């Protein structure tokens, strides 16, 4: 079964540092997403990406966040200057229109 692959599985970073979370969506999927889940809380939408541009973003996705699809296969989430409250699981997902979403196994980001 095709998978969405995320790396790294766990990242520890110091407050104020930049991090890049990487995702390889399923190859024939056209829509890509980042979600996050703070420990003990619900899964929250960050951003959706289609046709090489952001199609929608939430209020969480402020100027410290950016996404990119640099080479046609990877889909990255960059957090420019991490804060303690950015500590969470970050899930990448992809889908084709009218089909279910497939989530990656997530990156646990710990900001210290």
Partner 1 sequence: RKEVEQDPGPFNVPEGATVAFNCTYSNSASQSFFWYRQDCRKEPKLLMSVYSSGNEDGRFTAQLNRASQYISLLIRDSKLSDSATYLCVVDNTPLVFGKGTRLSVIA
Binding residues for partner 1 (CB under 8 A): 33, 35, 41-45, 48, 56, 58, 89, 91, 93, 100-101, 103-106, 108
Between 19 and 93, name the residue whose CB sits nearer to partner 1: 93
Is the Cβ of residue 12 or residue 17 nearer to partner 1 in the bound state? 12
> Which lies closer to partner 1 via its Cβ, residue 52 or residue 71?
52
CB of 81 to partner 1, least distance (A): 25
Following DSSP, what letter does each residue of the chain receive, concatenated?
Answer: ----EEE-SEEEE-TT--EEEEEE--TT--EEEEEEE-TTS--EEEEEEETTEEEEE-TT--TTEEEE-TTSS-EEEEESS--GGG-EEEEEEEE-TTS--EE---EEEEE-
């Amino acid at each position: 079964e095709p998978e969405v692959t995320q790396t790294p599985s766990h990242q520890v970073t110091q407050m104020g540092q930049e991090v890049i979370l990487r995702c390889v969506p399923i190859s024939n999927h056209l829509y890509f997403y980042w979600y996050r889940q703070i420990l003990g809380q619900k899964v929250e939408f960050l951003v959706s990406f289609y046709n090489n541009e952001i199609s929608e973003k939430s209020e969480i996705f402020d100027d410290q966040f950016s996404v990119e699809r640099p080479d046609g296969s990877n889909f990255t989430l960059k957090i420019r200057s991490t804060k303690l409250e950015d500590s969470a699981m970050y899930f990448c997902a992809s889908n084709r229109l009218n089909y279910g979403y497939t989530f990656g196994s997530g990156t646990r980001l710990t900001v210290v």
